Amino acid sequence: MSNQRRLVAVTIHPLRPAALEAAAEFITGINAHGIGCLAHSEDLDALAARVPGAGLGVLDADNGTACEVVVVFGGDGNILRAAEWALPRQVPVLGVNLGHVGFLAELESSQVGHLIETVVSRSYQVEERMTIDTVVRAERGGEQLWSSFAINEVSVEKLARERMLEVLVRIDERPLSRWATDGVLVATPTGSTAYAFSAHGPVIWPELSALLLVPLSAHALFNRPLVLSDRTVVSIEVLPGGSPGGVVWCDGRRSTDVTGGMEIEARVGQHRLRLARTSEQPFVHRLVRKFGLPVSGWRGAAERDATHAQ
């Protein structure tokens, strides 16, 4: 692999045969242009079996930074998985959607031919998305116990179904509100169409730099989502005496338990996710297409039906 001038990383959804087929087609096409591919060790055997003799190597800490782009065959969940590797190395991520509603993915699996041409010619643009850095402390301002990053959201959620989580939320060191709640989300604009969307938070255009604070079923008069400055530091203190504890999740992938007295801090992340885009598609177009939003009234639909009937 050391003789290859160009390298591309490939990751797949481990349980989707369609992901394996699309990735094998891509690797075959990209190898024909003299470009080598790297894959994680857990994906390597399955890919090598479909593309015998391919220019395929193991993706590891030593060769990862040499990759131009990481191509992900799966849904947004797989892009979040690939981002754990790509984010600290600042390698762009290009997603091929095999899921349902994929906002991060750029292409569909039927567009592998276009994908090959795009990677070979380097004709993609790189769009940057903000992230969140999270720290869990033993107490307010105390020892750091755990840290992680999030691309979509950080959530603090109750552990016991029958007991609410008691929290005190602070914004830039100033108390905002005390809630008895199922949990609290701090989301990025990217995450505003994920968990925060299902919790009735607003959709934020991804080019905005802001944080979104969303309480989950909070028992309080003031329990509305808030859009915050990108310079804001959100602090969530788990209060003693409520639920037996809670859990902090980052993108639903990395977690740690928290108990009364602990503090969770969330702020804009040090690194930005680099997404490879093959076209300058407006976000409103993605929103309409992914959610199937109606953009024509009943009269327009009737006219189209009449035209097709002729």
Q: Which residue has the tokens 């915050």?
A: 228
What does the pLDDT read at residue 139?
95
- From the list 76, 133, 257, 305, the catalytic residue is 76
76 is catalytic: yes
Residues of the chain predicted below pLDDT 50: 1-2, 306, 310
pTM equals 0.88
Query: How far lies 124's CA from each of 77, 127, 243, in Å?
Result: 22, 10, 48
Q: How many residues does the chain have?
A: 310
What does the pLDDT read at residue 1?
42
What does the pLDDT read at residue 165?
93
Q: Which two tokens stand for residue 272?
A: 């930005």
Q: Which two tokens stand for residue 29?
A: 């096409």
What does the pLDDT read at residue 99?
64
Number of H helices, E strands in the chain: 7, 20
Dihedral, CA of residue 100, residue 101, residue 105 and residue 107, to nearest 10: 60
H-assigned helices in the chain: 17-31, 41-50, 76-89, 112-121, 195-198, 283-291, 298-309
Report whether 258 contacts 240 (CB < 8 A).
no
List the domains of the chain with CATH numbers.
6-123 (3.40.50.10330), 132-268 (2.60.200.30)
CA separation for the pair 134, 131 (Å, rounded) = 10
Question: Please, what sign has the CA dihedral across residues 234, 235, 241, 244?
Answer: positive
CA separation for the pair 238, 161 (Å, rounded) = 16
Residue 14 identity (one-letter amino acid)? P
Edge-to-edge strand order for the sheet containing 132-137? 144-150, 132-137, 263-268, 234-238, 165-171, 174-181
What does the pLDDT read at residue 260?
94
Name every residue whose Cβ is closer than 8 Å to that of residue 310 and which is 6 or more positions away in sequence: none
